[in-house]
Amino acid sequence: MLELIEQKKMKRSEADEELSQMQTKLIDLANAVKAAKIPVIITIDGWAAAGKGSQIAKLIKYMDPRFYNVEPIRIPNEQEKRKPWQHRYWMKLPKQGEFLILDGSWFSDTVKSYMHGTINKEQYKRRIEDINVMERQLHADGYLIIKLFLHITQKEQLKRLKALEADEFTRWRVDDHDFENNSHYDKRFKRFDKLLEATNTEVVPWNIIPANEKLTAQYEIMRIVTEAIEGAVAAKEKGEEYIMPAQFKPHSDASNYSRPYKFNIVKTKKLSEIDMNKSLTEEQYRRKLKKYQNRLFELQNICYQRKIPVVIAYEGWDAGGKGGNIKRVASALDPRGYEVKPIAAPEPSELARHYLWRFWKRLENDGHFTIFDRTWYGRVMVEPIEKITPEKRAFMAYLEINEFEHQLTDWGAVVIKFWINIDKDEQYRRFKERENTPSKQWKITDEDWRNREKWDEYEEAVNRMIKLTSTDFAPWTVIEGNDKKYARIKALKTICDRLEERLGI
Amino acid sequence: MLELIEQKKMKRSEADEELSQMQTKLIDLANAVKAAKIPVIITIDGWAAAGKGSQIAKLIKYMDPRFYNVEPIRIPNEQEKRKPWQHRYWMKLPKQGEFLILDGSWFSDTVKSYMHGTINKEQYKRRIEDINVMERQLHADGYLIIKLFLHITQKEQLKRLKALEADEFTRWRVDDHDFENNSHYDKRFKRFDKLLEATNTEVVPWNIIPANEKLTAQYEIMRIVTEAIEGAVAAKEKGEEYIMPAQFKPHSDASNYSRPYKFNIVKTKKLSEIDMNKSLTEEQYRRKLKKYQNRLFELQNICYQRKIPVVIAYEGWDAGGKGGNIKRVASALDPRGYEVKPIAAPEPSELARHYLWRFWKRLENDGHFTIFDRTWYGRVMVEPIEKITPEKRAFMAYLEINEFEHQLTDWGAVVIKFWINIDKDEQYRRFKERENTPSKQWKITDEDWRNREKWDEYEEAVNRMIKLTSTDFAPWTVIEGNDKKYARIKALKTICDRLEERLGI
């Protein structure tokens, strides 16, 4: 893509006038973005000394500082290294109506990691997929992502490095490394070019800015940003999905990278096919509980030492016994190594971001267990059924969730998902018991009875969910829950089995 | 305090029965805590090999894992080092109805930092004050803090270290350092003892647990925890403030540490005494704007290099011009080095914690600017006036806020506070202008007019706030805001002056 770019030079008088018009327009557009609740991400990558910092300063000069945030992307810090690589980008997501401006991005992060040898070729390829997946997911959720690459020639870069070195105030910004890189400009050119192509998707295309001339670059950035925002605001007003006008189409050889993940789905049973009569005697239960809890404790220790993250997702019918089940898992573990995350209705700051954000946010460090009591699967169950999210949008989540769990697996996580199943009669019995037991009354509400009326609708949703998201890396385990003892042992045993499989022991 | 402790030994049969009763009780109490919305913090400190980990495991065995979180306190990580030292404890605050259990705490953190030479004697003393302030602030906000210190004798410790070393599975937990420390038991004894005394306040007393005998220790912990929770629940039901029964009274020589900060207040004017006729010509404005913006940019650079945090708090009348003022400050700065935090109504997760939590949470790293658009002063203005917080509780905030800002100063921050003042006529003019300008109509709501009706009440609150919180380390600057140009220059100049003063240039 880079070789197609011509370094242009505008006349100052011409540029100045147009710029001042666009700056005025940008103020209005930023207000329109706020009103239309569009979250905007602008990423600025490019060659060293291409002028990223000063271009950002010019861009934001006419924006309200309460509504943007500029974040430099450097080498990940220690905390960030203990999370999936894209975690830090998710954490920085702007709210609807706000701007995030990244100085550097997942693009330069990935190029540098690969060229410095921090990640190998295989990981590099996966990151390209990750980037395209992340951008597509955000785009589908209404994020406007504007990607800018500041392109300068080898000669221009050398000139700028020398100028920086000559000035005592800027000398600290340059070292031998930079000059060394400049002498290998061609090699970097090819690397940049390949990654630009591989991440130049139709939904979130690249904008290559000829930046030898600073004024021209400034003009181009302004033009692209204002046009993109105008387009997004207009589309939102019309209720359309907005796709940025692509400057470039991906080369055919890049299509390998930009296709979405294809996942292997394992065969599953429908809930109606499950044998719900399984149970354990009190004596069997005690013996097995001890056995698997001890085993789990040992396995946790090994996971901790090997820094393997474990993510356990609990879903199930109301009164299915999730709480008691989680308790038996938790009480086996070293309490410093896990955290249980109860998922309730989202807060305003969560609703103002991509729906997966609040789950990314809750991930514990590698080596730790994160146990979710209800999960991201609310997106494809309660949300469409209760009309919180339109069906069309909610159903995109099957792919997005598989991608999310695949990214967790790539991070090294063992992802274990439980559906605690009880039948309708058993639920009725437990609801009644709760109503009749003073200490349990707080656990039963009118909402539970209302949800129960939609049993069939939920059952269909659960069947579909299990069918579409039982991937080979993150399969569902349906737990026969009419007998709580049986259910607890099955959960513990499943966790132990999955960990042993992962640890190869 | 430690020398008063006698190592006890209970009969197993007796302990077992009482323990099982208390464990059952704890399950009910945890539900009661949830219902009464009491946030609970249990800290477990003590000698190395005193059994902290296993005692925590026993304590939580009967609790619902969705409602507690166990956090080990180790050496602060890189991110934590860039924040005030107590920041990481604030970040871990439990919500109302939840438990935070700390394995180690600000106590051991402080002892270790001092004994390892990470902090000097002066800093050590200030930390003691900080601890007492933090505990008092949390207590006053309804937090139940239960502090446990597991005490074992030198002989017992040596025995345990040897046992750990002899077992191949636990050998990694012990090193020469531990045996070395054991041989200097007396020195540590004195240090522990002093800090225990200094932080043994009436509101949050210490509980020293004789821990040579594990069963006795377990019993004592259970007893103290259940009694404290029972007391807190009962007090909350009666609407009383709960103070834990103190096991120990602070020694007289410790009183130096436990007194609240005494702050020097600088003399201030009432709003009615301010000359509101100050203004600048367009030409003066342009010249000064350029001058101070350039200066500020240079100063920011130095702050960045010296890792000095800058906290700027903006308060002022509705339509006072905060937004435009902040914009002139922000546009002078390197955008990677600041963030503007607009403060709106708190979210549920914020309301469920101490009111200062959301401000602690928003602090940027050292070397960065954090600019608050509205602040923690809402606590003493809008909250009591709009009856969101009872006056009695809100008025405690004068002290708490001074303490908070003092802690920021201790961290190294320059704390700058602006009240943008306009008179009542000017506000009327601006409200009307907003109503009559289509692009500004979103800025004016019925609420603004309603607030305006309470002008006198607000003016009184502002005068009191300025009078009570203009400390010598974080004084208020009242900005004459009828002329926006004058106001912007005064803010910029004040920031430059304060930074120069701090930097000694």
A407-455 pLDDT, tens digit per residue, is 999 999 999 999 999 999 999 999 999 999 887 888 888 999 999 999 9
Mean pLDDT, rounded, for B119-125: 95
Range of the domain at B33: 2-251
Which residues in chain A touch residue B66, judged by CB atoms under 8 angstroms apart? 323, 326, 340, 342, 373
Torsion of CA B494, B496, B502, B503, to 10 degrees: -170
In tens, the pLDDT along B412-452 reads 999 999 999 999 999 999 999 999 988 788 888 899 999 99
- In a domain, residue A263? The reply is no
Which residues in chain B touch residue A334, judged by CB atoms under 8 angstroms apart? 53, 57
Residue A68 has pLDDT above 50, yes or no: yes
Chain A contact present for B400, CB below 8 A: no
In tens, the pLDDT along A319-346 reads 999 999 999 999 999 999 999 999 999 9
- In a domain, residue B114? The reply is yes
Say if residues B355 and B376 touch (Cβ distance below 8 Å).
yes
Q: In Å, how far is A260's CA from the nearest CA of chain B?
A: 33
Q: What's the whole-number average pLDDT of chain A?
A: 92
ipTM confidence score: 0.84
Taking the C-alpha atoms of residue B55 and residue B19, their distance in angstroms, rounded to an integer, is 13
Taking the C-alpha atoms of residue A136 and residue A138, their distance in angstroms, rounded to an integer, is 5
Closest residue by Cα to residue B42 from B211, B228, B193: B228
Mean pLDDT, rounded, for B149-174: 92
- In a domain, residue B339? The reply is yes
Say if residues A292 and A168 touch (Cβ distance below 8 Å).
no
Q: What's the whole-number average pLDDT of chain B?
A: 92
- In a domain, residue B29? The reply is yes
Using the beta-carbon criterion (under 8 Å), do B336 and A442 form an inter-chain contact? no
Mean pLDDT, rounded, for B487-496: 98
Residues A281, A243, single domain; the answer is no
Q: pTM score, two decimals?
A: 0.90
The residue in chain A having the minimum alpha-carbon distance to the alpha carbon of residue B305 is: A172
Say if residues B278 and B483 touch (Cβ distance below 8 Å).
yes
Residues A277, A246, single domain; the answer is no
Closest Cβ opposite residue B79 in set A57, A79, A331: A79
- In a domain, residue A257? The reply is no
Taking the C-alpha atoms of residue B474 and residue B313, their distance in angstroms, rounded to an integer, is 10
Q: Which residue out of A68, A73, A336, A437 would a mutagenesis test of the B interface target, given it has the greatest number of B Cβ atoms within 10 Å?
A: A336
In this structure, the number of other CB atoms found within 10 A of the CB of residue A243 comes to 15
In this structure, the number of other CB atoms found within 10 A of the CB of residue A391 comes to 12
| Domain's final residue, options A193, A219, A252 | A252
| Domain's final residue, options B218, B251, B284 | B251
**Minimum mean pLDDT among A156-160, A186-190, B257-261: which range?**
B257-261
Q: What is the pLDDT of residue A214?
A: 93
- Within chain B, what is the greatest distance between any pair of CA atoms? 89
Residue A140 has pLDDT above 70, yes or no: yes
Chain B contact present for A305, CB below 8 A: no
Closest Cβ opposite residue B72 in set A57, A327, A336: A336
**What are the tokens at A355?**
């729906």
- Most confident of the following: A17-21, A254-258, B11-15: A17-21
Position B117 confidence tier, pLDDT thresholds 50, 70, 90: very high
Residues A392, A446, single domain; the answer is yes
Q: What is the pLDDT of residue B258?
A: 41
Q: Specify which residues A476 forms β-bridges with.
A: A417
Which residues in chain A touch residue B330, judged by CB atoms under 8 angstroms apart? 65
Residues B362, B441, single domain; the answer is yes
Q: Report how far apart, in Å, the C-alpha atoms of B101 and of each of B70, B71, B410 are.
A: 5, 6, 27
Concatenate the DSSP letters of all residues of A292-305 into one string.
HHHHHHHHHHHHHH
Residues B230, B277, single domain; the answer is no
Which residues in chain B touch residue A77, judged by CB atoms under 8 angstroms apart? 78-79
In tens, the pLDDT along B347-359 reads 999 999 999 999 9
Q: What is the pLDDT of residue A261?
A: 57
Which residues in chain A touch residue B72, judged by CB atoms under 8 angstroms apart? 336
Mean pLDDT, rounded, for B468-483: 97
Taking the C-alpha atoms of residue B60 and residue A282, their distance in angstroms, rounded to an integer, is 24
Chain B contact present for A101, CB below 8 A: yes
Residues B95, B126, single domain; the answer is yes
Q: In Å, how far is B378's CA from the nearest CA of chain A?
A: 18
| Domain's final residue, options A201, A225, A252 | A252
Which residues in chain B touch residue A335, judged by CB atoms under 8 angstroms apart? 56-57, 60, 70, 101
Residues B364, B245, single domain; the answer is no
**What percent of chain A is modeled with pLDDT above 90?**
81
Residue B249 has pLDDT above 80, yes or no: no
Number of folded domains in chain A? 2
In this structure, the number of other CB atoms found within 10 A of the CB of residue A386 comes to 12
Which residues in chain B touch residue A56, judged by CB atoms under 8 angstroms apart? 335-336
**What are the tokens at A478?**
């349906």
Residues B227, B293, single domain; the answer is no
Q: What is the pLDDT of residue B254?
A: 43
Position A253 confidence tier, pLDDT thresholds 50, 70, 90: very low
**Minimum mean pLDDT among A74-88, A249-263, B55-69: which range?**
A249-263
Terminal-to-terminal C-alpha distance of chain A: 48
Closest Cβ opposite residue B327 in set A64, A77, A342: A64
Amino acid letter at B123?
Q
**What percent of chain A is modeled with pLDDT above 70?**
97
Residue B259 has pLDDT above 60, yes or no: no
Taking the C-alpha atoms of residue A264 and residue A75, their distance in angstroms, rounded to an integer, is 34
Position B171 confidence tier, pLDDT thresholds 50, 70, 90: confident
Mean pLDDT, rounded, for A16-41: 91
- In a domain, residue B166? The reply is yes
Residue A250 has pLDDT above 50, yes or no: no
Residue B239 has pLDDT above 70, yes or no: yes
More confident residue, B505 or B484: B484
* A440: CATH: 3.40.50.300
Residues A241, A298, single domain; the answer is no
Using the beta-carbon criterion (under 8 Å), do B347 and A347 form an inter-chain contact? yes
In tens, the pLDDT along A92-123 reads 999 999 999 999 999 999 999 999 999 999 99
Which residues in chain A touch residue B36, judged by CB atoms under 8 angstroms apart? none
Using the beta-carbon criterion (under 8 Å), do B61 and A31 form an inter-chain contact? no
Using the beta-carbon criterion (under 8 Å), do B31 and A439 form an inter-chain contact? yes
Which residues in chain B touch residue A339, judged by CB atoms under 8 angstroms apart? 69
Using the beta-carbon criterion (under 8 Å), do A335 and B101 form an inter-chain contact? yes
Query: How is residue B144 annotated by DSSP?
Result: E
Position A493 confidence tier, pLDDT thresholds 50, 70, 90: very high
Q: What is the pLDDT of residue A61?
A: 86
Residues A74, A164, single domain; the answer is yes
Q: What is the pLDDT of residue A247?
A: 60
Using the beta-carbon criterion (under 8 Å), do B323 and A64 form an inter-chain contact? yes
Residues B236, B292, single domain; the answer is no
Q: What is the pLDDT of residue A248?
A: 53
In this structure, the number of other CB atoms found within 10 A of the CB of residue A267 comes to 7
- In a domain, residue B347? The reply is yes
Residue A81 has pLDDT above 50, yes or no: yes
Chain A contact present for B339, CB below 8 A: yes
Mean pLDDT, rounded, for B255-259: 42
Using the beta-carbon criterion (under 8 Å), do A331 and B60 form an inter-chain contact? yes
Chain A contact present for B164, CB below 8 A: no
In tens, the pLDDT along A38-49 reads 999 999 999 999
Q: What is the pLDDT of residue A260?
A: 46
In tens, the pLDDT along B388-419 reads 999 888 988 999 999 999 999 999 999 999 99
In tens, the pLDDT along A397-412 reads 999 999 999 999 999 9
Chain B contact present for A60, CB below 8 A: yes
Residues B310, B230, single domain; the answer is no
Continuous H helices in A141-277: 154-166, 176-183, 185-198, 214-238, 255-258
Q: What is the pLDDT of residue A47?
A: 96
Chain B contact present for A327, CB below 8 A: yes
- In a domain, residue A167? The reply is yes
Closest Cβ opposite residue B79 in set A72, A77, A326: A77
